[in-house]
């Protein structure tokens, strides 16, 4: 029987803490455990500390996970809670994403300072975003506006917006909901018009592979539909060698025993895009995502990826 608290690793932003608390609360309910059986361990990551440059310029998604994964590997943490969309497709040896909490709203939210919708921004307006996917999609929809790099926590970005640094910005609607701040969204874009990042809205738990004790703890809170959908989207991403240097969008949805999938790759300027819509059996979700990625890669041709640096 476990007598000491389980150590949960997380980043320190308000959103990361909200996600860690959600994971803890679900585990407390699933096992009828008290809160003092869990210790939330906050670690600062390089991605949190460097906010004046684009992720693509300083190393990509792994910047948000390296410190947590080091302590997972050493045994100092029992497991770590992440935003699934922040996770690289290749994990360190001995670690795995074993558990996915029920997915929240996958859509992107636009927050305008003086207008409510992206379409209502005047020509020459400035929109801030740290995501190459969002930047490319914004440029695709509104080539007349300026897009600038905009990093920091949800609260930091909203303060910059209020201070007039930009005329609008985008955030994941799931993050706003988890923070109880969904009312700040002035427009929530449909997945059809603004395809999300792979795994957006899904919280995942990373653990050491083969740790039976943690397997048994986490299994009851795993949401199978979310796990299947995210596996499809991450397989698509992996087939394209996706990272924070690549404008890639994807969304999968489970229904009955089947899964539907939509994917897109774009040039950073948004001028050229290739998309795919397909479906298949949930039992072949990863295979479907991988096939979709390989299909778009062939369709685009090698010259399409030259700007992905």
Please, are residues 40 and 28 in contact by the beta-carbon 8 Å criterion? no
For the chain, state the CA radius of gyration: 19
Q: Which residues pair with 212 in a beta bridge?
A: none
Reference 6, options 23, 174, 16; nearest CA is 23
At 224 the three-state DSSP class reads helix
Please, are residues 177 and 185 in contact by the beta-carbon 8 Å criterion? no
Which letter, b or e, does each residue of 36-51 get, where b requires 16 or more Cβ atoms within 10 Å of its Cβ? eebebbebebebbeee
- Judge residue 192's burial from the number of C-beta atoms within 10 Å of its C-beta, 0-12 exposed, 13-18 middle, 19 or more buried: exposed
**Strand 187-188 to strand 108-112: parallel, antiparallel, or no bridges (unpaired)?**
antiparallel
DSSP 129: -
Q: How far apart are CA 126 and CA 184, in angstroms?
A: 18
- The active-site residue out of 48, 78, 86, 167 is 86
Q: How far apart are CA 309 and CA 138, in angstroms?
A: 20
Which helix (DSSP H) or strand (DSSP E) does residue 132 occupy?
A: helix 132-141
Q: How far apart are CA 176 and CA 108, in angstroms?
A: 10
CB count, 10 Å around CB of 19? 25
Chain CA centroid to CA 284, Å: 22
Does the annotation count 86 as an active-site position? yes
Based on DSSP, count helices (H) and strands (E) in the chain, helices before strands: 10, 13
Catalytically annotated residues: 86
């Amino acid at each position: 029987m476990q007598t000491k608290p389980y150590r949960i690793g997380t980043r320190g932003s308000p959103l990361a803490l909200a996600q860690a608390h959600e994971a803890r609360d679900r585990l407390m309910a699933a096992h009828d455990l008290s809160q003092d059986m869990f210790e939330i361990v906050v670690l600062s990551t390089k991605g949190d500390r460097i906010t004046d440059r684009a992720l693509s310029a300083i190393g990509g998604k792994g910047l948000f996970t390296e410190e947590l994964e080091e302590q997972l590997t050493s045994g100092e943490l029992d497991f770590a809670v992440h935003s699934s969309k922040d996770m690289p497709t290749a994990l360190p040896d001995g670690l795995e994403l074993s558990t996915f909490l029920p997915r929240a709203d996958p859509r992107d939210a636009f927050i305008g300072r003086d207008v409510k919708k992206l379409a209502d921004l005047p020509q020459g307006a400035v929109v801030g975003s740290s995501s190459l996917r969002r930047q490319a999609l914004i440029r695709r929809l509104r080539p007349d506006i300026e897009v600038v790099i905009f990093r920091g926590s949800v609260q930091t970005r909203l303060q910059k917006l209020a201070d007039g640094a930009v005329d609008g910005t985008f955030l994941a609607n799931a993050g706003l909901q988890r923070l109880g701040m969904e009312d700040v969204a002035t427009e929530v874009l449909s997945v059809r018009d603004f395809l999300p990042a792979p795994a957006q809205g899904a919280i995942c738990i990373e653990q050491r592979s083969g740790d039976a004790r943690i397997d048994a703890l986490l299994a009851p809170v795993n949401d199978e539909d979310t796990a299947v959908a995210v596996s499809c989207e991450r397989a698509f991403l992996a087939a394209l060698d996706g990272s924070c240097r690549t404008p890639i969008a994807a969304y999968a949805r489970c229904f009955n025993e089947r899964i539907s999938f939509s994917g897109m790759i774009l040039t950073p300027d948004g001028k050229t895009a290739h998309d795919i819509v397909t479906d298949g059996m949930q039992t072949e979700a990863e295979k479907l995502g991988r096939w979709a990625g390989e299909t778009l890669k062939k369709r685009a041709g090698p010259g399409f990826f030259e700007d992905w640096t």
